[in-house]
Structure 1
Amino acid sequence: MEALAFGLQKSGVRFIWAVKTGSAEEAAQGKGVVPEGFEERVGGRGLVIRGWAPQVMIMSHRAVGGFVSHCGWNSVLEAAVAGVRILAWPMEADQHVNARLLVEDMGVAVRVCEGAEGVPDAVELGNVVAEAMSGEAPEKARVKELRDAASSAVREGGSSAKDLDELVRELCKLPKPVGKRE
């Protein structure tokens, strides 16, 4: 939490930070605790939301340029549809594979750290965040292309729309189960 807070502070960018609140035991361990004085130091350019935040609504706002994410598939899809760059911090399971796909294969994300126990260098994190949010970041153009491709795929006549129609046609051809009422 301290490294992320200092990195956001150092980056100089505007941000919204949704902090998951945990149990009293987790808070005693420092989980979900925003460092003292942080909000005052970033006042006017940073907003801390404690608990749930409307992620899809926030990411779809035109002012949002990036999203620090653990790279769970739902968050990846939400960011792609919104055309928002991901600053990847995979923690477990498929998140590592998703981050690799986004960073190395697709070029729409920047890796900031890895692993639940990993703690990024706060200064380096601030630099990565600032650079990723700059207008010149190559991931910016690539994620906009991904957003446009996803949008056209689900439009009427798009590849996903056509494939869904074909799936429905194929399912309609299946024989009805014996002994089942319609």
Structure 2
Amino acid sequence: MKSGASRPREQRRLVELLDVRVEVADPTFRYREGTTCLTTRWHQRIGELIPPDPSDAQWDRVEVLLRSWFPAHHFRSPLDLRAALTGMLHRLRSGILWSELPTRFGDRVNVRVRQRVWLESGVWEAIVRLLNEEGHGTPVFRRPLPPLLIRTALDTEQVA
């Protein structure tokens, strides 16, 4: 048997009667605009860890993998693909915005486009699995919820 306020309609009515409000406790908190990138969503959905930066031996294997997926013109860009991959992994582990990506990883627009191409082609999954073979990955960064305050009409009423 269900409790008195267990049905959604009854729960909604109770929340309305109590005038429940949820507020961010930290007045300096700023909501981060934008949507989650597709690669981050893929990692969250699949549960695949973000691998550490590739060693020289791992990078050699990644490069062979990439060359088996893409034609030669994919490698003619001035973008250093190893640095770009390292930047992609850094961004996923740290949660920084693309606009905050340090220049040592390459032009952030080109790095972002390359990551999207790799994800859409399916090679991103192969790269991540290859780099995670040793099992030292970390979860994709998730922005924590700020501290919240829950207020109701009871907070402002005097109890007799």
Higher gyration radius (CA): 2
TM-score range, shorter chain: under 0.3
Higher relative contact order (CA 8 A, sep 6+): 2
Return the structure number with greater helix share.
2
TM-score (norm 1): 0.25
TM-score (norm 2): 0.27
